[in-house]
Amino acid sequence: MVVELLVEGAFGGVFWSLVGLALSRFVRDVLGRVLLAGVLIAAAAFYVVFAAGADAGPAWLAVEVLGVLLFGGMAVLGIRRSPYWLAAGWALHPVWDIVLHNIGPGRAFAPEPYTIACLSWDLLTAALIAVAYGTGFVGGRRGRTGRTEPVAAGVDVP
C-alpha cells in the first residue's frame, strides 16, 4: 500500500508541476507560480481541515494555521521574489507531512494515505521547480522576458 500511495503522489505532483511549469513557460511565469503556490498552500490547509474534523483542539488548530502561514509565506515569496522559495516550500513540506503527521503526534488525526502520498508529491514538485528554473526552461534566463538584471537609473539600454 505504501508504494501505491507514493506512486499516486508522484503522479499528482508531476502532473500539477508540469501544468504550472507549462503555464510559466508558454503563458506567463507568474501564472505558473501562482498555481504551484496555491497548491502548496492547499496542501498545508488540508491539515487544518483534518484537525478541525477530528476535533483535535485549539492548540492543534493553531499549529496547523501556523503551518499554513509558514508555507503560505514561502508561496508568496515564490510568486513575488524567487521561484526557489516555492521549491524550498515544497522541499520542506515533507517534514510537516511525515515528521509531524505521519510518525508524530498529528498521526492521531491526519490520514496516513495523505501523509504518505504527499512525500513523493512534495519532493518531486520541489525538484521539478528547481530543475526547470535552474536550467532556464522557465523564467528570465530563457531570454524571453528580456533583461533580467536591474538597470541603473540614467543608463541607456539598447
Burial 41-78 (b: 16+ CB within 10 A, else e): bebbbbbbebbeeeebeeebeebbbebbeebbebbbbb
Burial class (CB in 10 A: 0-12, 13-18, 19+), 111: middle
Q: Which residue bears the cell 515533507? A: 94
pLDDT for residue 81: 95
Backbone angles phi, psi at 112, to 5 degrees: -55, -40
Work out the mean pLDDT of the chain and round it to a whole number.
87
> Residue 61: pLDDT band by 50, 70, 90 thresholds?
very high
pLDDT for residue 100: 87
Global confidence as pTM: 0.84
pLDDT for residue 149: 42
What's the whole-number mean pLDDT along residues 93-120? 90
- Residue-wise pLDDT for 1-50, tens only, equals 889 878 887 788 888 988 999 999 999 999 999 999 999 999 999 999 99
- Residue-wise pLDDT for 76-99, tens only, equals 999 999 999 999 999 999 999 989
pLDDT for residue 151: 38
What's the whole-number mean pLDDT along residues 99-119? 90
What span, in angstroms and rounded, lies between the C-alpha atoms of 94 and 19? Answer: 21
pLDDT for residue 52: 94
pLDDT for residue 145: 39
> Who has greater pLDDT, 104 or 41?
41
